[in-house]
């Protein structure tokens, strides 16, 4: 799947998780998954470089492009919130998962990362709570499960084998698939 906008909060984090799994015993199983995920995120990776300036431009383009939309106003509003959430936190999640995959990360670093993940989860739960579109809610709740797993992976004191075990939880793949549905739904709603 080719994404139109740099949205991939959970997908980027899952790339980090599969990289983590690749550090352990599941390297041969992890590589094909990484390639598949990287294919779906390649447009976002290329557009993340000028993140600081492009987010202002993209926010403006949401307003102008969505004014002509004839879709469900509640879904439109939810997708705008989701797009803003994803742009704001994509780099932070990538950094947190890189830290989680580092066996030399300190307890203090992991505690800070865990606190950041709790805040991110809370923000995402807020979007779900305000959403009215059932398809969005169902996919967002599945995505939320993968975010909760990311949060668990940042708990201080977790061993690399415990993190590897968390990364292979079936809810991770379900969350990635659900996020793809959210991105597709919102790209359509926002006119991309």
The confidence score (pLDDT) of residue 5 equals: 47
The confidence score (pLDDT) of residue 10 equals: 53
Establish if 169 belongs to a structural domain.
Answer: yes
Establish if 155 belongs to a structural domain.
Answer: yes
Which ranges of the chain have pLDDT less than 70?
Answer: 1-72
Q: Determine the Cα–Cα distance for residues 163 and 56; give it in Å rounded to an integer.
A: 36
The residues near 98 (Cβ < 8 Å, ≥ 6 apart) are: 16
Q: Determine the Cα–Cα distance for residues 160 and 21; give it in Å rounded to an integer.
A: 9
Establish if 143 belongs to a structural domain.
Answer: yes
Instruction: Please give the distance of CA 15 from its chain centroid, rounded to a whole number.
Output: 10
Establish if 4 belongs to a structural domain.
Answer: no
In this prediction the pTM is 0.67
The confidence score (pLDDT) of residue 90 equals: 86
Establish if 61 belongs to a structural domain.
Answer: no
Domain that holds residue 103: 9-32+73-189
The confidence score (pLDDT) of residue 72 equals: 66
Residue 181, Cβ neighbours under 10 Å: how many?
A: 17
The residues near 66 (Cβ < 8 Å, ≥ 6 apart) are: 76, 80, 190, 191
Domain count, the chain: 1
Q: Determine the Cα–Cα distance for residues 73 and 177; give it in Å rounded to an integer.
A: 25
């Amino acid at each position: 799947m080719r994404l139109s906008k740099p949205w991939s909060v959970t997908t980027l984090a899952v790339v980090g998780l599969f990289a983590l799994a690749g550090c352990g015993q599941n390297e041969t199983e992890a590589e094909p998954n990484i390639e598949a995920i990287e294919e779906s995120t390649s447009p976002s990776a290329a557009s993340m470089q000028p993140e600081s300036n492009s987010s202002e431009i993209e926010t403006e383009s949401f307003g102008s492009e969505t004014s002509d939309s004839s879709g469900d106003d509640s879904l439109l509003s939810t997708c705008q919130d989701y797009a803003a959430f994803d742009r704001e936190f994509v780099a932070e999640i990538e950094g947190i998962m890189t830290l989680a995959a580092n066996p030399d990360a300190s307890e203090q670093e992991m505690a800070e990362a865990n606190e950041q993940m709790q805040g991110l989860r809370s923000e995402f739960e807020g979007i779900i709570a305000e959403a009215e579109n059932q398809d969005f809610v169902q996919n967002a709740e599945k995505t939320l499960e993968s975010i909760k797993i990311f949060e668990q992976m940042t708990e201080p004191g977790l061993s690399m084998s415990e993190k590897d075990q968390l990364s292979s939880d079936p809810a991770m793949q379900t969350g990635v698939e659900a996020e793809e549905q959210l991105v597709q739904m919102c790209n359509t709603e926002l006119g991309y």
